[in-house]
Structure 1
């Protein structure tokens, strides 16, 4: 490939990739932002979604959470430590197994999880309505299908 062809190809592909980069950076900032989901508690989206996963799956382990969210055990442990310190979750040893601690939402955690779900319903309905102002249902469904496949592609071993 000649140098000018290489540059042209790079710019063609980079223009498309820049859309993804901008989305990822913007969404990353969005999920890390501290917000009140309606209980007076301030928490970020990563932490509250982890709490909701625990609330909906009583007894789940940190290892299962790590797998579900594709995070290291260390990263998951840091989130769980924050949730536990703030009184949103409990860790319990069960069946004499000290290695794996099971996770449970406290009453305070359950209340926040419920408030979070109501908040997300409102936000997701707003996003869906706003997207429908510019795109058809089929186009929106295709977008989510592409995002799902792109995620799978990123998680899969790369074959050249």
Structure 2
């Protein structure tokens, strides 16, 4: 196969990966508590846990979602007692979001689960080197930039 054919196969494989991930993310699961959570909720908790204190605007920027969508997600996890929000004492207009103790349990559970699952994937990919992973990561980041340009209404194809 020539370069273009191989690239087209790569793109189709990435689309299939995206479809599989979307299917996987649509199934609610338990993460160390009685709550069934969707992956988007768990990843939102992950962002909050990684940053300790974060705002809705910051989450929206990191995840490339609207503030409205993030606010709705935050309200869902607050109702499940996984996070709290309060006014920043240094900036009254800003609302800070933090994990509750229950949210911390989900955060740690998911972090540990990722380590185990990533380890399984890594074991299945033992023939690939760190350099192979670096090349794939660079390529994927470049492709992501093209998708982001398309999302922002800019041409994907450069002339």
Q: Deviations over 1:46-68 (max 9, x none)?
A: 21111121122132100000000
Matched, 1:100 2:100: no
Larger Rg: 1
TM (norm. structure 1) is: 0.80
Residue 21 of structure 2 is matched in structure 1 by 27
TM-score when normalising by structure 2: 0.81
Question: What corresponds to 1:86 in structure 2?
Answer: 80
CA-based RMSD: 2.2
Gaps of 5+ in 1: 1-11
Judge conservation of contact 1:131–1:140 (CA < 8 Å) in 2. Answer: no
Is structure 2 residue 102 aligned with structure 1 residue 140? no
Residues in 2 aligned to 1:18 and 1:55: alpha-carbon distance in whole angstroms: 34
**Could you tell me how far 1:130 is from its partner in structure 2?**
1.2
Structure 2 residues without counterparts, runs of 5 or longer: none
Does 106-115 or 36-45 show the bigger shift?
36-45
Whole-angstrom CA distance in 2 between matches of 1:15 and 1:107:
45
Aligned residues: 149
